[in-house]
Structure formats: C-alpha cells, structure tokens
Amino acid sequence: MSGVREFRSEDIPEVAQLWMKVFRGRGGPASEALRAYFREIFFESPWQDESLPSLVYEETDKRIIGFLGVLPRIMTFNKQRIKVAVATQLMMDKDARADHAAARLMRKFLAGKQDLSFSDGASEAAEKLWQGVGGDVAVSDYMVWVRVLRPTQYASLLLSGRSSLLPVVRALWPVFRALDAVIVRSPQTLLWCIRILSGNRALQPEYELDSLRWLLKRASEKQMLGELRKGVIRNGSGEILGWYLYYIKQGGIGQVLQFGGKPKSIRKVLNHLFCQAWSQGAVGITGKLESRFTKELVKSRCGFTWPGYGTLMHSRNKDILIAIHRGDAFLSRLEGEWWARFSDPVWSQETRARSLHAWPWMPGLQAPRQNEEPVSPIPARAGLHGQFDQPA
C-alpha cells in the first residue's frame, strides 16, 4: 500500500538519487558525498529527535517517489522551551503518478509533535501547497535589505567630485585590514551575544555551545557564497555592542547570515559590518530584514526588496504565529534552512547557481573595474573595535 512513512537511514541512497533527479535533472546514483551529507544533516545533528522525523512517500512497489526533510530545533517562546521543525527539500518524482502525494507529505508533517513548523526558503509551489493544507505565510518576515558598497558609477562620481577623500581612503585601508586580523577563536562569545543581545523577543532560538559549534561548522562549508566570517563589535571600554555572521567573496555580494546587538548600537554594528565587507572587496551586502531594525537600515542607506517568498509557518498555538507576524521573533537565516548546502553546485558538475556578481533587480551591483579606487561606504568611527575570524 502506498503512503507516507518515516525516513530511515537505509533510504538515503534512494532519496539522494531522487534529489539529483528533481533538483539537478540528472539520473543515476548520487555521489557518496551527497549521501553522506543527507546522513549528517538528517540523522546526526545535535537536535536529532526521533519524534520529529523526515518523511518519504512510498509507492506500493516500495519505490520512494517523494521526500520532505525535517530539521528539528529547540527554541523558547515566552521563556518556555518548545520543539521546532524546519521543513526543507520537499520533492516529488514528476514521472510518478501519485495524486495528492505532496499534500499528504505536508499534512503528515504539520500534524507532528512540534510546537512550531516553519521554512524560510520555499518555492512558490511549496508556498501554495503549505497554505492549501492549513499553513500560514509571513510575507513581511522575508523582506531583504541591500547595501550597495561599490557601484562603479557611484564610485567614479564620488571620487571625481571629492578628490580630497583619496588620502583618507588610502590611510584607512590598512586599518581595516589590521582589524580583520584579530581572531575570534571560539563560538562562546557568539553564544553569549545570541542569548543576551537578541532583544528579548517572545520567540528566540535556544543554543548550547556544542550545537552552535556544529551549526557554524556546517554553515562554513557553504563555500558557494564565499567564506563565512564572524565578527563581535566592542566599544573602547571593551563592552560588547553586537555581532554579525556573513559570507564574503571578493567582487561578489556579501550575504548576512545573522546579526544583532544592543538596540542603541545597531547602527554601529551595521556600519562596522559594511566597512568590513567593503574592505574585503564586496560589491554589496544583503540580508534578511528584521522589522525592528528597519529604521537603522534606512538610515544606513539600505534598499529593500521582496525575493518572491515569505516565511512559511504553522502552529497550533496561535500566540506563536502572532509573535512572528508582529516581528517579535528572532528567526535569522541561521535558524532556518538557508545555511544548508543543498543549493551548492558541488553536488553536480552542472552549475546552475545564480551569479553573485549581479542581481537583475539591482543592475548597479557590478564588480569593480580593474584598478578602480575603492571608496569606504561608512566614515571611520573612533572607539569601535571588531574581532574577526581569519581565513582558514
């Protein structure tokens, strides 16, 4: 009899092969590396919970034609621990004729023992399916901010009209590089930042040192976006003001994984982030919008766009959904599935990754021309210091 059942470790070769067929358009067995990644992500995470399994749809002949991955997490809602299930990699074999199989997978998932279900990277089809089986969508929770750092036209105009900036830029450049050499060797400080400086939201992630270390290691392996950098910002007296995690690739667009800080210091954190991204050769930098930081982002000359999807969510506790809708939740890209490597082109020889050098909705984001003089987007601020990872 066909139907939905739990994903088992012995299913990995078949599910990985289905993934290659659906997401890469390639037949045949999946690589050993992809199989190992499925095992690591779905069976070996520090939040592994047998009550929140991933799911497969199996035909009467025992062929697996559908899959829905589940990433268990722990969060707190109003200071109480809750179970969270992040949905990812929903897929169906298009050659199989199984009416409503995807909907049955989704219904089984939403009926699970988690207090909150959500996904932060679903396609439009998955969003419609989610809503069709009773889920909700928080469109405002997935606006994206963009800070242009190096548009060629802007730099040329600024330099031609303000040649007096050139000595300042040349003087500051080694300072930025020197700051970048200070090392954050342990995630302990980041853990403190997330716990203490995440703004006392109603819904917050709950990390332990081992789980955060595991997650940061997995996130750092997503090399298609560049190198993962970690920064902690302090004032002149050593007090921590905030932190940020971002991917950086010279000539590309930096991608912020998570940031936060004391409410009155957010602009300082953002300014330091922009300076670092600029000093490392980024054309621009972008991240997920948190509504409580909108004013600071606007004042920092950021633009905004909607990528075409929102945060998918479902809970039997309506207060949790209300908290997400009103922006009283700390759900960064680190808390969902965005950090995972499933989008990496490394899993197949055919590279379909979207270029990080130019986005169609922001044509001014172009890599700087060779020998172009860079211009710092943020003025230097005294008494502001950063700690950073060095390249591996």
Express each pLDDT in 124-151 by its tens digit: 788 889 999 999 988 766 789 999 987 6
Tell me how far apart the alpha carbons of residues 296 and 270 are, in angstroms, rounded to a whole number.
Answer: 8
Residue 82's beta-bridge partner residues?
Answer: 75
Would you state the pLDDT for residue 171?
Answer: 53
Q: Model pTM greater than 0.85?
A: no
**What pLDDT, on the 0 to 100 scale, is given for residue 52?**
98
pLDDT of residue 160: 43
Q: What are the φ/ψ torsions at residue 266 (nearest 5 degrees)?
A: -60, -40
Note the pLDDT of residue 229: 94
For residue 38, give every residue at least 6 positions away whose Cβ sits within 8 Å of its Cβ, in sequence order, or none.
Answer: 12, 15, 16, 19
Q: What is the mean pLDDT of the chain?
A: 82
What is the spatial distance between Cα 107 and Cα 134, in angstroms, rounded to a whole number? 9
pLDDT of 178 strictly over 80: no
What CATH number should be reported for the domain whose range is 144-307+353-388? 3.40.630
Residues of each domain in the chain carrying CATH 3.40.630.30: 3-114
Q: What is the pLDDT of residue 185?
A: 53
Q: What is the DSSP string of 30-92?
A: PPHHHHHHHHHHHHSSTT--TTS--EEEE-TTS-EEEEEEEEEEEEEETTEEEEEEEEEEEEE
Residues 78-130: pLDDT tens digits? 999 999 999 999 999 988 877 789 999 999 999 999 999 999 877 778 888 99
The two tokens of residue 94 are 């298009």
Distance CA 126, CA 147 (A): 29
Topology (CATH level 3) of domain 3-114 = Aminopeptidase (3.40.630)
Contacts of residue 185, defined as CB under 8 A and 6 or more positions apart, other chains included, come to: none
Q: Evaluate whether 387 touches 182 at the Cβ level (below 8 Å).
A: yes
Partnered with residue 231 across adjacent β-strands are 244, 388
Cβ atoms of 108 and 307 within 8 Å: the answer is no
d(CA 154, CA 159): 8
Q: Say what percent of the chain tops pLDDT 90.
A: 60
167 CB contacts (<8 Å, ≥6 apart)?
Answer: none
What whole-number distance in Å separates Cα of residue 15 and Cα of residue 30?
9
| Residues of the chain above pLDDT 70, percent | 79
pLDDT digits (tens, 9 = 90+) for 255-299: 999 999 999 999 999 999 999 999 998 888 999 998 889 999 999
* Residue 308: band (very low, low, confident or very high) from pLDDT cuts 50, 70, 90: confident
Q: Measuring CA to CA, which residue among 345, 391, 387 is closest to residue 182?
A: 387
The pLDDT of 199-209, averaged and rounded, is 92
State which amino acid sits at residue 297: L
